Amino acid sequence: MTDKKITPSLLNKYKADKHKITMLTAYDFYFAKLIDECGCELILVGDSLGTVIMGYENTVPVSLDEIIHHSRAVKKGVSRAMIISDLPFLSYQASKEDAMRSAGRILKESGVNAVKLEGGVEIADTIKFLTSHGVAVMGHVGLMPQRVNQMGGYKTQGKGPDSRKRVMDDALAVADSGVFALVLEGVEHGLASEITARVKVPTIGIGAGPGCDGQVLVIYDLLNMAHAPLPKFVKIFADAGETIKKGVNGYLCEVRDGSFPPKAQ
């Protein structure tokens, strides 16, 4: 763990040194503070907040205002990690100017360090436009949850030759567009390793195998606090969900049986 503020240049050094990079999602002050204190390098205010916080079916309905609201809270809890916020669906696709306005709102109104965009070849010029105007951008290729309706579900990308070529082309285009890092989601493991070897920027995998420069998980998943079935690649590192239930049930029982609060001594 380093006490240094995490920056893109430090992430590049980590890639060169083969030092694995860690990223987790956070959506509020307290979780962000805990994650930062543990030494996680990157904190993502993900549009996954739609499913784990807002109760939406997927990430599509998440609004820019919701991202900004949660980004503000996360920013207040972090002193050293680099904070990245997702640009939500249809907040950046219509034009470069739309993307700049959306990114500008997030950065200026919340104080986070960077934004993340889903997309490949078709979004590379938009990323170049943002980065040329001083916006730090993280890319995201492979499985793109914002496109779940178009993709027909959450399926591994890069299995067949056509899919493999598309994912590789997307990764190379985005990596060359000025991003400081690239998320590879749901990418066939061998292909993810190949992409990691070919691009100069750090790759952060989720369901993409151990060959990436780093890994990211949704914090609620690894703590077993999700309300939906977990993806196969997720490992539960602590059963916080059961701990919370135990605490709540203990409170309910003691209030109902009269043992809490205790009688005055």
CATH of the domain at 28: 3.20.20.60
Q: Give the domain extent around 48.
A: 8-239
Q: Is residue 136 part of a domain?
A: yes
- Number of compact structural domains in the chain: 1
Residue 151 has pLDDT above 70, yes or no: no
Q: What is the set of active-site residues?
A: 185
**Using one digit for the tens of pLDDT, what is the confidence trace for 30-69?**
999 999 999 999 999 999 999 999 999 999 999 999 999 9
* pLDDT score for 194: 98
Band (pLDDT 50/70/90 cuts) for residue 20 is very high
Q: Is residue 117 part of a domain?
A: yes
Asked if 93 and 118 count as a contact pair (C-beta separation under 8 A), the reply is no
Structure tokens at 209: 């195998």
Spatial CA neighbour of 240 closest among 260, 256, 212, 220: 220
Q: Is residue 60 part of a domain?
A: yes
Spatial CA neighbour of 128 closest among 176, 79, 160: 176
Of 102 and 150, the structure prediction assigns the larger pLDDT to 102
Q: Is residue 258 part of a domain?
A: no
Q: What is the mean pLDDT of the chain?
A: 95
Categorise residue 170: left if φ over 0, alpha if ψ from -120 to 50, beta otherwise.
alpha
Q: Is residue 125 part of a domain?
A: yes
Q: Is residue 256 part of a domain?
A: no
Q: Is residue 250 part of a domain?
A: no
Distance of alpha carbon 260 from alpha carbon 250, whole angstroms: 10
Q: Is residue 2 part of a domain?
A: no
